[in-house]
Structure 1
């Protein structure tokens, strides 16, 4: 069993709560309230800004030039690809990038990104990559599951673009490379004594991912109750 698979097995409860959250199921069949998706997407834009900082930190923490290049590629994927999807989708609501940057950050977004950055500041590159893994690898797994659903790519599903982006080959390759690099780092630096510490980081980051979905899910319910 690979290092990443061991992390997932140890965090099976947290992983299921994250990857099978009702928010994600609502994306698959198009039933997710737009207010929930909008709140998520705007906060996720702010989240990506902070995650870009985490990948920049990964460059600094890298012990080799190959590690630096891998981290730099992740940084570029966020700044030059992933954030563009958010800008495109938010433009449909009349929101510009400048508008997005002015939105107050949600507590859940701050809690998650601060945790990841703190894990990276206190630990080594492996600890940082473990904290990043639920996001970059988890989104690929979630999107693959959603894409297999009957109505995922239906013209009537407003979230088909999001699903297609993360289920598509380019992002799946990003996630596969991140997983391979994580396993490579673990082979070099993950001693049995450290595995419990790294598992705890993974569990907490995964729990915070689920909290991010829950934040947006609650917003959708709140708006629905006001109507």
Structure 2
């Protein structure tokens, strides 16, 4: 169980779209360095906009949380997104000649709108578990992708390969720790609300479907990078 029992079960139930997401041509291009630079830059711009909405989703998680520990975790994650991850993303984009003002003013593409609004709607219309199921593919999928690409390429940080820094970020110890913590948070939240036999709960299939839908939207996000 890479990132917890709940994630492992959801991942297995969404096996086909999960493989399509984590082995997408965009991902494989990152791994072997063949990804066209314009596709990567298009992704970077849209990912900045995505992170803004992702931050809003974690802010919403604070209000949807059922325990103080859940609130603290969501608040820490929001802080890390706003003050660390977005800052790193801005620095990466600046190195590519894209300043933050240009990023913020960029047109948000339909695939980005569809994904981010789905996650936010899951939180607004549902509860903490709905929101976690919708957030999990991004958080944990990037961790899995980073680990796999690093194992294949040997990239664990900045290197000479075109996308070594990206791989190293998500394969690195800091991000992998976040993935394990989020996996544990989801397991705890599920046990707290659905009990020890969560997969027998009437809610299980609904949550699993949330996870699968978000995974399919991740595929669309990769596809977006190749759009003109």
Q: Which TM-score band (shorter chain)?
A: over 0.9
Q: Distance in 1 between matches of 2:132 and 2:169?
A: 22
Please give the root-mean-square deviation of Cα atoms over the aligned residues, in Å: 1.5
The match for 2:188 among 184, 191, 200 is 184
Match of 1:198 among 201, 204, 207: 207
Q: CA deviation at 1:156?
A: 3.4
Distance 1:118 1:64, change over 3 A: same
When normalised by structure 1's length, the TM-score is 0.92
The runs of 5 or more residues in structure 2 that have no matched partner are: none
Residues 17-26 or 72-81, more deviating: 72-81
Deviations 1:172-209 (A, max 9, x none): 11111001100111112235100010011000000001
* In structure 2, distance between residues paired with 1:119 and 1:210: 18
For normalisation by structure 2, the TM-score amounts to 0.92
Q: Could you list the per-position Cα deviations for residues 21-65 of structure 1 after superposition, in whole angstroms to 9, with x for gaps in the alignment?
A: 111111111110000110001100000000000000000111111
Residue 165 of structure 1 pairs with residue 174 of structure 2? no
Structure 1 CA distance, aligned partners of 2:147 and 2:56? 27
The answer to whether structure 1 residue 18 and structure 2 residue 21 are counterparts is yes
Work out the CA distance in 1 between the residues paired with 2:102 and 2:210: 33
**Matched-pair contact (CA < 8 Å) for 1:27–1:152:** no
Task: Quote the residue 1:209 is aligned against.
Answer: 218
The residue matched to 1:193 in structure 2 has which SS? coil
The answer for the alignment partner of 1:75 in structure 2 is 78
Q: Who is 2:179 aligned against?
A: 175
Are residues 1:37 and 2:40 paired?
Answer: yes
Q: Give the count of matched residue pairs.
A: 219
